[in-house]
Amino acid sequence: MADWTETHTFLEGKWLEGNTPFIGVRTHAFWLGSSVFDGARAFEGVAPDLGKHLARVNRSAKTMWLKPIKTVEEMTEIAWEGIKKFKPGAELYIRPMYWAEEGAVGSVPPNPESTRFCLSVYEAPLPKPTGISITRGRFHKPLAMTMPVDAKAGCLYPNNARALLEARSRGFDNCLMPDMLGNVAELATANVFMAKDGVTYTPAANGSFLNGVTRQRVIGLLGDVSEATLRFEDFETADEIFVVGNYGKVTPVTRIETRDLQPGPRFRKARQAYWDFAHSKV
């Protein structure tokens, strides 16, 4: 049995403790993939961009033919109720979810009227910004015509998982995943930035990957990021690389393939700017 960290989940007006099971074998999401989620963070007494993450889960629900049944305001209140259940200083992950309980006619499409909602809050310590290693990923990001890439949908993550597992089998922490044209899209679990000759770049949001909340926030905080079409070779010769995402926020890359890198000034500026924003110093 998994050793779950402290977890509290709001479901149908009640708080449940632990990894409480509440779907059945015929639940549509269990066997046909009709689930969406989002992830926000609470740490050091703040929950930056919580509202943006909650708004996105409602947009994701609509993309997957689900019916959003909670407003952002309602979810915000629930999230803070959950946060207060933990000891002060706990580093938490906040995960709202929607899924279909039943199928519509023909079973494969979900029945929007059967949409259910939960919101879980659990302990998940922020990774230390000591650096990660990355490689070229074998698997590509899908196109919008093949998968719902404009949603944070559970069905997208098996592809990311096999990319990540393949990279780790070769001794790396993560990998750069290309789009269907071979241009770099993102990491398997985060958006990616690089700096070269004093200019900061990130792959242009071309519809092959989710334009992350933290990605957008860091672009706004830095103010001088160029969104561009980037190849793997651009990252191989970069002066510095860092990744951003909800789970680890801003993290440096300290190795790409066999080449070692150092955390650079753009990473340090991005991380400090994000923490200042989170604590309302800017």
Whether residue 50 is contained in a domain is answered as yes
Residue 274 maps to a domain: yes
- The mean predicted confidence, pLDDT, of the chain is 95
Helix (H, G, I), strand (E, B) or coil at 187: strand
Question: In this structure, are 108 and 152 located in the same domain?
Answer: no
Q: How far apart are CA 11 and CA 228, in angstroms?
A: 42
Cα 204 to Cα 245: distance, rounded to the nearest angstrom: 16
183 occurs within a structural domain: yes
Whether residue 76 is found in the same domain as residue 198: no
**1 in any annotated domain:** no
Number of domains in the chain: 2
My answer on whether 96 and 136 are in the same domain is no
- Rounded Cα–Cα distance for residues 150 and 112 (Å): 18
Q: Are 194 and 241 in contact (CB under 8 A)?
A: yes
pLDDT range class, residue 27, cuts 50, 70, 90 = very high
Backbone angles phi, psi at 225, to 5 degrees: -90, 135
Considering the domain boundaries, does residue 59 fall inside one? Answer: yes
What is the extent of the structural domain holding 208? 132-278
> CATH number of the domain that 168 lies in?
3.20.10.10
Is the domain of 43 the same as that of 156?
no
Q: Distance between CA atoms of 185 and 187, rounded to whole angstroms?
A: 7
Q: Report yes or no on 142 lying in a domain.
A: yes
Domain boundary among 66, 89, 123: 123
Rounded Cα distance, 167 and 173, in Å: 7
Residue 15, pLDDT > 60, answer: yes
Distance of CA 87 to CAs 45, 122, 209, 282, Å? Answer: 11, 12, 35, 27
Q: Which DSSP state fits 44? A: T
Please say if the pLDDT value at position 104 is more than 90. no
Choose the final residue of a domain: 123, 156, 182: 123
157 with 185, same domain: the answer is yes
211 and 140 within one domain: yes
Q: Number of H helices and number of E strands within the chain? A: 7, 15
Whole-model pTM: value is 0.94
Residue 2 inside a domain? The answer is: no
Task: Say how many residues make up the chain.
Answer: 282
Whether the pLDDT of residue 1 is over 70: the answer is: no
